[in-house]
Amino acid sequence: MKIFISHSSKNYFYGDKLVDLLRNVGIKENEIIYTSNTAYGIPVAQNIFNWLKSQITEKPFVIYLLSEEYYQSIACLNEMGAAWIIENKHAAIFTPNFNLSSKEFQNGALDPREIGFYISDEERILSLLQLLSEDFEISKSHIIISQSIKKFIREISNHTTEMIIPTKVYEPKIVEKPSISESNTIVPENNENKPPIATFSTNQTDLFSKFINSITLNKLKDDELILLHYIIETGRFKLMTGWQEHIEINNIKEWEVINDINNKLSTNYSSILKRFELRGFTEVSALTSSNNPKELKIRDEISNQLLDLPENVMNIILVNIDKNHFDHTAKIEIVETDDLPF
Q: Which residues are catalytic?
A: 79
Residue 285, class by beta-carbon neighbours within 10 Å (0-12 exposed, 13-18 middle, 19+ buried)? middle
DSSP state of 304: T
- Closest by alpha carbon to 148, among 20, 14, 322? 20
All residues at 6 or more sequence positions from 243 whose CB lies less than 8 Å from its CB, including other chains: 288, 292, 294
- Closest by alpha carbon to 66, among 49, 83, 52? 83
Give the C-alpha separation, 156 to 231, whole Å.
22
- Closest by alpha carbon to 146, among 84, 238, 230? 230
Q: Answer for the pair 138, 132: CB distance below 8 angstroms, yes or no.
A: yes
Buried-exposed string 228-252: b where 16+ CB fall within 10 A, e elsewhere: bbbbebeebbbbbbeeeeeebbbbb
Q: Answer for the pair 145, 126: CB distance below 8 angstroms, yes or no.
A: yes
Angle subtended at Cα 93 by Cα 66 and Cα 103, rounded to the nearest 5 degrees: 40
Angle subtended at Cα 151 by Cα 274 and Cα 261, rounded to the nearest 5 degrees: 45
Q: Beta 61-66 vs 3-6: how paired, if at all?
A: parallel
136 phi, psi to nearest 5 deg? -130, 155
Q: How far is CA 162 from CA 11, 22, 36, 156, 159, in A?
A: 15, 24, 22, 10, 5
Establish how many alpha carbons lie within 13 A of residue 64's alpha carbon, considering only the half-sphere containing its beta carbon: 33
